[in-house]
Amino acid sequence: MSEEAIRAELFGKPVDGHFRNGRTWTVTLFENGRVEQIERLGQKMLGRWFFRGSVLCSVPDRIHQPPFVVSCWSISKTSANCYEYFRVDAWGEEPIDKESHDLTWYGMGWRQGETSTCGERPTV
């Protein structure tokens, strides 16, 4: 997705999701450059976000480092309300590449308050 599409579809709206390992999360990206992420165990991360091209990165406020680290993502929309997040390696606070080289998603999310259209995909 492009920066413009990500802003239009995901900003200001809580997004629920899960990582491949099953850990759940809710993230909200605010127009003022701030991000809030809450993970399943109640861990809360506040920080800031920025774009490098279509790569979206979040940087936790120092008080939340660790356990949270800089995270950069390529995001793909797979259906009306389903988004796959692919990791982009970062060096310090900057993404290394212009897109992810991962073949499978690391996280999957959907806009909160709307029906998720993330279905199970067949595996071969």
Q: Above 90 in pLDDT, residue 12?
A: yes
The CA distance from 5 to 123, in Å, is 29
Q: What would the CATH number be for the domain defined by 3-111?
A: 2.40.128.640
pLDDT for 79 equals 95
Which of the four pLDDT bands, split at 50, 70 and 90, describes residue 99? confident
Question: In the structure, what pLDDT confidence band is assigned to residue 42 with cuts at 50, 70 and 90?
Answer: confident
**Could you tell me the pTM of the whole model?**
0.86
At residue 124, does pLDDT exceed 80?
Answer: no
Residue 123 is predicted with a pLDDT of 40
DSSP assignment of 46-78, as one string?
Answer: EEEEEEETTEEEEEE-GGGTTT---EEEEEEEE
